[in-house]
Amino acid sequence: MRNKTTYILVFCTILIGSSLKNLAQERGKLLLQNYSYTEYKAETQNWAITTDKNGLMYIGNSNGVLIYDGSGWQLVRISNNSIVRKLATSDKGTVFVGGEGTFGFLYADKLGKTVYVPLDTLVNDSIEIGAVWALNILNNRVYFQTQNYLFEYNGNAIKTFRSRGRYFYSSFVYEKSLYITEIDYGLSKIVSDSLQLLTPHKYFKNNDLFDIAPFRDSLFLMITFSKPPQIYDPKQLKIIGNFESSANDYISANGLNSFAYDANYLYFGTDKGGLAIVDYSGKNVEIIDESIGLQDPSIYAIYLLNNKIWLGLSSGVSVIDRSNKLKLWDKKNGIPNSATSIIRYNGVLYASQILGLSVAQNPANSGLAGNLTQFKPVPEIKYSAWSLCNFKANSTVKSALICASSDGLYEIKNKQAKLLSYGSFTLAVQSIKYPELLIACYYDGIALLNMKTYKYTSFLEKYDYHYRNLGQDANGRIWVPVNTKGVMRFEINDSMKVDTKSVKIFGKEHGIKSMLEMYIFIEGDKILLTTPGEVYYYDEKTEAFLPEKRFSVLPKDVIIRQLDKDATGNYWINGAYRLIRNADGLAIDSLLKLQLPNGIVETTYMDNEEFLWIGTSEGLFRYKLKNELNDNAEKFKTLIRKVSVNDSVIFSGIYPLYLKGANLLDAEISQIFQPANQIKKFPSTFDNFKFEYSAVFFSGEKHTNYTYKLKGYDKHWSAFTKFTYKEYTNLPYGSYTFYVKARNLYGVESEPAEFSFRIAKPWYYTTFAIVLYVIAVILGVSGIVYYNNRRLIFEKDRLEKLVLERTAEISQQKEEIMVQSEELIRANKNIRKKNRRLGAQKDEIEKQAKELEATNATRDKFFSIISHDLRSPLATIYSVLQMLRLSYESFSREQLKDFIDEMNISISSTLNLLENLLEWSGSKQGQIQSKPQNYNLLNLTNEAIVPVRERAKLKNIELTNVIPAEIMIFADSNMIQTVLRNLVSNAVKFTTGGKTVTISARIIKENFCEIAVADTGIGIPPESIPKLFRIDTHHSTQGTDKEKGTGLGLILCTEFVERNNGTIWVESEVNVGTTFYFTIPLAHLQNEEI
């Protein structure tokens, strides 16, 4: 679960890593991250903190070990479910754990889930372990210190040291050595795997010393629970003095719980007073406690990581980001509402507000808890203060701070206000051209006040507008936005009065599209005007406002109300966006907007090129433009934390590497990168995958975005999103790699994490299944042929019977004629009629006899094809399968591949034959009816030759379709596609590699289209051409790559062309090429046009 970032207040000075002396005098509050037990869902108390090589955070909790990855929490319980008081990480990244009555390390199970592995099983059963109060890793050894024992783990075994005094009190590492204090004994040191007493000095025998920090001149500080830090000289073996600090009494009064140090500061975690941070001079102290937002004042653990201070509390976990450059003053500090103007005058900061004017006052003792800068009201100004002006001194007048308020103009001296003039003023600006003049805007107009005489020299009272903004250009002209009318420009003459003749209004006719909410800014000699949706600059030649394209990188809904420019030339817009200069112009940086709370920005102030002050509806913010500590470039990782398949977890974030029997401290025992032997293959039914991931970056986690790509499925990376998971459903078989990477609030991207897997083919795509399909087709075709043959035999028997019946009838009639000769004359007419009928019957019998002969030829053709062309490839497949069945393991992979290729060729040939047989058989049985319709010939041809293109590509033959796109035909699409496919297939078959096959068409007379399939192949001998289209002769020739044919394709083409009212013929020359022609009627619409 992603942590909820709460805006908490903390002293600003400790959060900047440079010297405290160099900070600005105002002390404000900063945003602090608190994680409560309701988020991590475990006990409130947290005793220890560490991290691993991957950036994951580990917190020792009363329920076990908490793991935080930047978006969610995981609880790992230890073997006896006890409190985890100590954590430490080895050089190889293994996290060791100290609990109560147990100690061990964290490992990954076979699914990658983090689990606890106890090491106390290596300890003699007679030893009562107790609670682990210190855990140190040094010189490839891990030391677990309890009250009575020190356990040394070397990666394979445990060595036990028993206390020689009353008990062990503490142990710590200093200058690459492990020290341990024993009550009633002294201070000892681990030397060559033995515990050696260094000194029995009384200071160490009965002392609550629990840590040492380096100090100046080879001295060090002794940190105890009961006394202030003391300076110890190891050469003299004695205490030479106390470490004096204004925090000593505070720490003593609140009780010391924890301690840490770095090169610049000492960090004291107290029992009820929060965190005290002291520099090594002892003079600069900062306190972080509940009064400024720390969720609990009892600090059990301090962990320093990069620019952050992690605190384990009695209730929760807190993180202080030392690189954060944003500070806050709100109503608790005297800023009850929005600041309308900010200025520093004579080193003092002033902020005008809707309810008066406030001045910053620093506390007398800035080092103790709660002592932040407070803003106190200037009592004389009780109503809305809108503007502050630093009226600079010149040869005739002194400097002054002027405040324009709704009840008058005031001069501020010694933090008190003196009324200069009554009125409702909104803006006060010193004249550039005449420095002794103050330009004062009020509700009804503009006034010029001589600051030498304190008398008005001129008024401009024609425009009813609440003036809040104006600009003065290099020529002394004054530009004022006038609501709904445009921009007013005027000049001041040498009499220091408004030159009324110079007043001019610029409106829509001068290029300004919108005249609502306008702001004027002067940048050098350039005059800028901002309006909703557009920024303009004033062009002197055309006297018009033209679009200014430099600021087009801003979001469309941003209205520039505040425009500041820092020393580097970058622009700051409304205190939220920074526009950075680069070779291409300006690039937008939204970092500050992401850090500010959602509120309205009323004013900004650039303070000596060092700070940017931002007045918002949520309070007054200060942003440090330069900072020695910067979190921006901090590298971080994105981790895949869980992978589920069909709702079952198959991976939980870590790959185990540790081998049983290996030394635990000599090698890495786990990693986040997927080893090659961990790439899993799943059955085809395992096709629903869910990936969960997180970025281990702990500043503004809610602003971290992710992009992902599934290689083998996605063509491109996804858009960035805040979601920390991605699901894929119904994935087809194949090999995949899932990639994901993160981008933090600074715009820095991590390296992608990846997870590879394979999905197997379903059974119906296997070679065995294909062979079954082929056998089924062959059996089906054989059944059809058998059935058709039986039908033909039955028809023959019927015809023979009919002939016999007709012959018998004729004989009987002849006998009757001979017997009844006397009736010949009378029956002459009847006989003639019967003779004509018998002649017709004879013709019918002869016709049926010819059909029977053709039927017999067809049957013979079928049997010839089945006995030869079907038997040959099936025999090949059968032979190869027999060889594989009997001697599969004796063949090499290359031989097996050759066998598979051979079976593939045989199966392909058989399938092609079966397709033609089925179509021809269907045609002969009358199952295929011609259903002509209008079709586009080019599209029909392209669809027909798709199966042939791959074969042409394999033979390196160029297959070209040059049929005009406008030709429409009237024909049965299936029949014509069969004709085209057979002709093109034959052309490819009889053409050698490197040559061409061309399909063309033209319109000929009588509303027909002539289609030609031409190749540059081996050609056809003249004596073979008459045999091509006959069923009673078998003509088949092998292709250029030994492809086999059946001789049935052209017969099928002839029948289909004729059934579509066309004709087919061929022209060929040996070794030159062959062209097959056939005609098809044009479409009806085209016929009418022709």
414-440 pLDDT per residue, tens: 889 999 999 889 999 999 999 999 999
Does 692 score more than 70 pLDDT?
yes
Does 551 score more than 80 pLDDT?
yes
- Quick one: which of 473, 401, 392 has its CA closest to 435? 392
Residues 895, 1002 share a domain? no
Please identify, among 734, 759, 784, the residue that sits at the C-terminal boundary of a domain: 759
Instruction: Please check whether residue 258 is in contact with residue 301, taking contact to mean a CB–CB distance below 8 angstroms.
Output: yes
Reported as a pLDDT band with limits 50, 70 and 90, residue 1086 is very low
Is 920 within a domain? yes
What is the CB neighbour count within 10 angstroms for residue 476? 12
Mean pLDDT of 760-787: 88
Reported as a pLDDT band with limits 50, 70 and 90, residue 21 is very low
Three-state secondary structure readout of 599-662: CCEEEEEEECCCEEEEEECCEEEEEECCCCCCCCCCCCEEEEEEEEECCEEEECCCEECCCCCC
Query: Percentage of the chain with pLDDT > 70?
Result: 85
pLDDT at 709: 96
Residues 936, 1069 share a domain? yes
Rounded Cα gap, residues 306 and 310, in angstroms: 10
Is 330 within a domain? no
Specify the DSSP class assigned to residue 717.
Answer: P
595-654 pLDDT per residue, tens: 777 778 889 999 988 899 999 888 899 988 876 555 556 789 999 999 999 989 999 998
pLDDT at 767: 82
Is 301 within a domain? no
At 798, list the tokens: 């019927």
Helices of type H across 225-380: 248-254
At 109, list the tokens: 């199970």
Reported as a pLDDT band with limits 50, 70 and 90, residue 455 is very high
Structural domains counted in the chain: 3
Most confident of 171-175, 591-595, 662-666: 171-175
pLDDT at 8: 34
Rounded Cα gap, residues 1079 and 1002, in angstroms: 10
pLDDT at 1018: 86
698-726 pLDDT per residue, tens: 888 888 999 999 999 999 999 999 999 99
Q: Is the torsion defined by CA of 1039, 1041, 1044, 1050 positive or negative?
A: negative
Residues 1083, 968 share a domain? yes
pLDDT at 1000: 94
Mean pLDDT of 556-573: 87
Reported as a pLDDT band with limits 50, 70 and 90, residue 925 is low
pLDDT at 6: 35
Rounded Cα gap, residues 614 and 621, in angstroms: 5
CA distances from 435 to 344, 429, 453, 959 (A): 20, 10, 13, 86
At 375, list the tokens: 């803003």
Specify the DSSP class assigned to residue 897.
Answer: H
In sequence order, the 6+-apart residues with CB closer than 8 A to the CB of 162 are 148, 149
Instruction: Please check whether residue 1052 is in contact with residue 1058, taking contact to mean a CB–CB distance below 8 angstroms.
Output: no
999-1010 pLDDT per residue, tens: 999 998 778 999
CA 179 to chain centroid:
48
DSSP per-residue string spanning 102-127 = -EEEEEE-TTS-EEEEE-GGGS-TTS
**At CA 40, angle to CA 44 and CA 629, rounded to 5?**
95
Rounded Cα gap, residues 414 and 428, in angstroms: 20
pLDDT at 203: 61
Does 950 score more than 90 pLDDT?
no
Rounded Cα gap, residues 356 and 337, in angstroms: 10
Average pLDDT value for the chain: 84
Residues 817, 917 share a domain? yes
Please identify, among 759, 791, 810, the residue that sits at the C-terminal boundary of a domain: 759
Decide: helix, strand or coil at residue 504: strand
Is 1039 within a domain? yes
Does 862 score more than 60 pLDDT?
no
Decide: helix, strand or coil at residue 739: strand
973-984 pLDDT per residue, tens: 888 888 998 899
Reported as a pLDDT band with limits 50, 70 and 90, residue 1087 is very low
Specify the DSSP class assigned to residue 896.
Answer: H
Reported as a pLDDT band with limits 50, 70 and 90, residue 18 is very low
pLDDT at 210: 77
pLDDT at 924: 56
Decide: helix, strand or coil at residue 92: coil
Q: Which of 45-54, 59-68, 252-261, 948-957 has the lowest mean pLDDT?
A: 948-957
Residues 1066, 938 share a domain? yes
Residue that is written with structure tokens 């429409």 in the block: 968
338-365 pLDDT per residue, tens: 889 999 999 999 999 988 999 998 776 5
- Quick one: which of 517, 510, 583 has its CA closest to 547? 510
Is 1068 within a domain? yes
Better pLDDT: 914 or 271: 271
Instruction: Please check whether residue 289 is in contact with residue 283, taking contact to mean a CB–CB distance below 8 angstroms.
Output: no
Residues 881, 789 share a domain? yes
SS3 content of the chain, % helix, strand, coil (to 5): 25, 40, 40
Is 476 within a domain? no
- Quick one: which of 703, 14, 42, 659 has its CA closest to 317? 42
Is 749 within a domain? yes
Better pLDDT: 883 or 779: 779
Instruction: Please check whether residue 291 is in contact with residue 255, taking contact to mean a CB–CB distance below 8 angstroms.
Output: no
Reported as a pLDDT band with limits 50, 70 and 90, residue 666 is confident
pLDDT at 303: 96
Residues 916, 803 share a domain? yes
Q: Which of 33-42, 98-107, 839-848, 868-877 has the lowest mean pLDDT?
A: 868-877
pLDDT at 418: 93
- Quick one: which of 110, 18, 2, 116 has its CA closest to 60? 116
Does 809 score more than 80 pLDDT?
yes
Residues 934, 885 share a domain? no
The kind and range of the H/E element at 895 are helix 893-924
Does 1025 score more than 90 pLDDT?
no
- Quick one: which of 196, 102, 199 has its CA closest to 151? 102
- Quick one: which of 325, 289, 308, 262 has its CA closest to 24? 325
- Quick one: which of 192, 221, 60, 197 has its CA closest to 133? 60
- pTM of the predicted protein model: 0.66
Rounded Cα gap, residues 452 and 457, in angstroms: 11
Mean pLDDT of 551-577: 87
Better pLDDT: 7 or 128: 128
Residues 1018, 877 share a domain? no
Q: In what order do the strands lie in the sheet with 1073-1081?
A: 958-961, 996-1004, 1008-1015, 1073-1081, 1064-1069
CATH number at residue 978: 3.30.565.10
Rounded Cα gap, residues 720 and 840, in angstroms: 87
Domain coverage including residue 855:
766-928
Residues 945, 911 share a domain? no
Mean pLDDT of 773-800: 89
Please identify, among 712, 734, 759, the residue that sits at the C-terminal boundary of a domain: 759
Beta bridge partners of 708: 740
Reported as a pLDDT band with limits 50, 70 and 90, residue 145 is very high
Does 64 score more than 90 pLDDT?
yes
pLDDT at 4: 36
Is 35 within a domain? no
Does 538 score more than 70 pLDDT?
yes
Mean pLDDT of 461-470: 68
Residues 713, 790 share a domain? no
Q: Which of 353-367, 865-879, 901-915 has the lowest mean pLDDT?
A: 865-879
pLDDT at 821: 67
Residues 1083, 943 share a domain? yes
Rounded Cα gap, residues 350 and 371, in angstroms: 19
Q: What is the CA radius of gyration of the chain?
A: 48
pLDDT at 823: 67
Does 404 score more than 80 pLDDT?
yes
